[in-house]
Amino acid sequence: MLGQRTQVRKGGIDAILETDWQFGKESNGLQANNSARTVNINAVAMRAWLGYTMFENRMKPRLAVNLDWASGDGDANCATAAACRTAGGTFENFFPTNHIHMGYADVQAWKNMFQPAVSLQFRPTERDHIEIWYNSFNLANARDNWYRGAQGAYIFSKNNNTKKHVGDEIDLTWTRMFADGKVAFQATYAEIFTGGYMTANLPNSPSRQSWGFVQLWMNF
């Protein structure tokens, strides 16, 4: 894997562009011992954001737009013959979670996805921090699967699937700082609204899902 990360900060503006390319060979999973590496890996991913912070305002509000994309593979579910899958186009997220970056509910991996997002953050007091996020979950390739934050497939796409919009997530997070910011209590509520992909590929999908958690974290 090769990649680059470029970060710019000037005044109230902050921007980041990260691009990654994966290459090599892997087994197609069809041989008994998976020893034959017949699949050529060629996968890419990108993350970009642009934010602006009003430092002159007492609450330091920051508005940002994000775009995350990771390639998928139209033959990801092909397992009927050794010749059916010769290219590995699904980007593999090397890390077990994308918490915060792709939604607090952890339902989206950085693989076969296209996700625009917008966020607003501000500090009503010196010790309190509020975040409001909107994320739109979409597949990059309709023939590939929807992958969860832990990297496994949430839903295996049908062979004839054409739907890409998985759903939308809205997050509300409150963080309370203690001990000069070294200790904090955080509470998050997330609401996910079902898109056409879930309805088409998982019958009887709920129209919405609710997630929530609280945590205590410390910096050393």
Choosing among 3.40.109.10, 3.40.640.10, 2.40.160.100, 3.40.50.1820, the CATH entry for 2-218 is 2.40.160.100
| 74: number of Cβ within 10 Å | 16
Cα(130)–Cα(123) distance, integer angstroms: 6
Query: What does the pLDDT read at residue 80?
Result: 47
Query: What does the pLDDT read at residue 136?
Result: 97
Which pTM does this prediction carry? 0.88
CB 44 within 8 A of CB 24: no
Query: What does the pLDDT read at residue 81?
Result: 45
The number of residues in the chain equals 220
| Residue spans of the chain under pLDDT 50 | 80-83
Distances (CA, A) of 99 to 4, 82, 165, 199, 217: 21, 36, 20, 25, 14
CB 65 within 8 A of CB 50: yes
Cα(121)–Cα(49) distance, integer angstroms: 14
Domain boundaries, the chain: 2-218
Cα(83)–Cα(115) distance, integer angstroms: 32
